[in-house]
Structure 1
Amino acid sequence: MSEFGIVAPVARIGLARLLAIVAEKDDERIPRDGICLEMLGAQLTVVKEQILENDRLIRASARDTEVGQRLMEIPGVGPLLARAFVASVADPQVFKTCRDLAAWIGLVPRQNSSGGKERLGGISRAGNQYLRQMVVVGAMAVIRHAERRGTKRVWLIELMKRRATKVAAVALANKTARMVWTMMTSGEHYREPQVAHA
């Protein structure tokens, strides 16, 4: 459409503007002969409806289980991630500790230890790649929200000061995975961490 001098911002809002122009039959900026824009617009509308229906089904599925409802209380855990945890970790007791679950997802440091000296590297990336990506994306959303609006979580504020954004997101993802294991095994609800007073 830019060939005809019609441009719009990137993302959903811009696309919606372009589709509205295509749908307008009286708009003379777009030649109507031999152009497939109307067909592409119709296809995009169908895909959008399918995505919205899938989102609705995922949200409903996550809310169907008591565990899924509790997991969605954790910042950075939405319906999709809660449903993924419920489906992937049918029995959280399989993992002895919360660290074991984080390791299974691939969110713990790789160990390069020898001669009694412990050396920790980047995350291992072993395990469930899908869950790892989803937890890190959720952690990035929490960090972006904290950067824009601030947060009362002192641990996160300090971490964001010391580390690069992506490193902080992986650390937060590790913490989130550990919270998920604790909540799945204990049956507790999410509680915001309290600041220790000296």
Structure 2
Amino acid sequence: PAYVKPYVKRNKTDVADAEAICEAVTRPTMRFVPVKTAEQQAASMILRTREMLMKQRSQTANALRAHMAELGIIAGKGMASIAKLLVLLLDEKDNRIPGAARFALIQFAEQIELLTTRIEKLDREILVAVRQDPDARRLMSIPGVGPLIAATVRTSVSDARSFTTARDFAAWMGLTPRAQSSGGKERLGAISKRGNRQLRTLLIVGATSIIKLAKRGLKVPLWIRTMLQRRPVKVVSVALANKIARTIWALLVKGGIYQAPAAMLKS
């Protein structure tokens, strides 16, 4: 729809919209959205359902953490800290939690446990589907790409060959800088954040996990170690996510599995 809008003449009417659509589809450089199969749509529903349940669990966990903090019981971020709060909540000998508050907060605890069970059930379903898909199994050979990323790629990308280059694929995900160029001067800003937000987020999370392991001794390419010395960790994570996206495109188009750089193997 955003590409059709420039072809709408004057006032917006159904006739003007139809004329603009007909004009837009005749343009040689127009981009089209491939039609997904029913199986891709079904797999995408599983991923979106998991994402929604994850948000609900985070919301419930944050509410529990905030209420416990009002009682002087402080916990850090993450579900591991929430597990410690649940243990304190179920300990009726702890006098810091009034009876009425304990009754209310137990409802949060039960909701978190229920959501966790449902998320784990969806994770098992996603893992089974990925193991049955040969392309998804090849994608998991890339460091930082797990079953969730592989499944999201398979449901989001109908045909990787529709992207001319790996950079086009990364740009489609919003992992390339936003260009602000005029008068012969090129200005590159932050990443555009266009395209599939879920897949972009997962790639950045996967890249961040690699960087965390690199600080603990994991062998990584030289460019990552050098970039960490002069740029913030989040910037390096986005750069690595961009690299992973390009590698995904290469495997989908050219086949094969990921091969670690020879320089990294020698280091």
TM-score class normalised by the smaller sequence: 0.7 to 0.9
Q: Give a deviation string over 1:124-166, Cα, whole Å, max 9, x none.
A: 3332222222212211111122123342421211222232212
- How far did residue 182 of structure 1 move? 0.4
Pick aligned residue for 2:89 from 22, 25, 37: 22
2:219 matched to 1:145? no
**Local SS of the residue matching 2:189:** strand
Partner Cα distance (2:74, 2:182) in 1: 59
- How far did residue 121 of structure 1 move? 3.4
Q: After TM superposition, list the pairs within 5 Å mapping 1:72-91 onto structure 2.
A: 72-91=140-159
2:229 matched to 1:172? no
Partner Cα distance (1:113, 1:38) in 2: 56
2:225 matched to 1:157? yes
2:108 matched to 1:40? yes
Unpaired segments ≥5 residues, structure 1: none
Partner Cα distance (1:137, 1:5) in 2: 32
In the alignment of these two chains, the number of paired residues is 196
Q: Give a deviation string over 1:168-189, Cα, whole Å, max 9, x none.
A: 1121111111100000112210
Partner Cα distance (1:107, 1:31) in 2: 49
Pick aligned residue for 1:60 from 124, 128, 141: 128
**Local SS of the residue matching 1:167:** helix
Q: Which amino acid aligns with 1:164?
A: P
Q: Which amino acid aligns with 2:105?
A: L
Partner Cα distance (1:182, 1:9) in 2: 40
Structure 1 stretch 65-74 or stretch 117-126: which is displaced more? Answer: 117-126
Relative to structure 1, is the Cα distance of residues 4 and 93 closer, same or farther in structure 2, using a 3 angstrom cutoff?
closer
**Local SS of the residue matching 2:141:** coil
Relative to structure 1, is the Cα distance of residues 33 and 179 closer, same or farther in structure 2, using a 3 angstrom cutoff?
closer
Relative to structure 1, is the Cα distance of residues 122 and 2 closer, same or farther in structure 2, using a 3 angstrom cutoff?
closer
Pick aligned residue for 1:108 from 163, 166, 176: 176
Relative to structure 1, is the Cα distance of residues 4 and 127 closer, same or farther in structure 2, using a 3 angstrom cutoff?
closer
Relative to structure 1, is the Cα distance of residues 9 and 101 closer, same or farther in structure 2, using a 3 angstrom cutoff?
closer
Partner Cα distance (1:52, 1:159) in 2: 36
Greater RCO between the two (CA within 8 Å, min separation 6)? Answer: 1
Task: Provide the alpha-carbon RMSD of the alignment.
Answer: 2.7
Q: Which amino acid aligns with 1:140?
A: T
Relative to structure 1, is the Cα distance of residues 66 and 22 closer, same or farther in structure 2, using a 3 angstrom cutoff?
same
Does the CA contact (< 8 Å) of 1:102 and 1:174 recur in 2? Answer: yes
Partner Cα distance (2:176, 2:74) in 1: 45
Q: Which amino acid aligns with 2:161?
A: Q
**Local SS of the residue matching 2:190:** strand
The corresponding residue for 2:138 is 70
Does the CA contact (< 8 Å) of 2:145 and 2:203 recur in 1? Answer: yes
Partner Cα distance (1:61, 1:95) in 2: 25
- How far did residue 57 of structure 1 move? 1.9
Partner Cα distance (2:109, 2:173) in 1: 39
Structure 1 stretch 92-101 or stretch 1-10: which is displaced more? Answer: 1-10
- How far did residue 90 of structure 1 move? 1.6
Does the CA contact (< 8 Å) of 1:151 and 1:157 recur in 2? Answer: no
TM-score (norm 2): 0.64
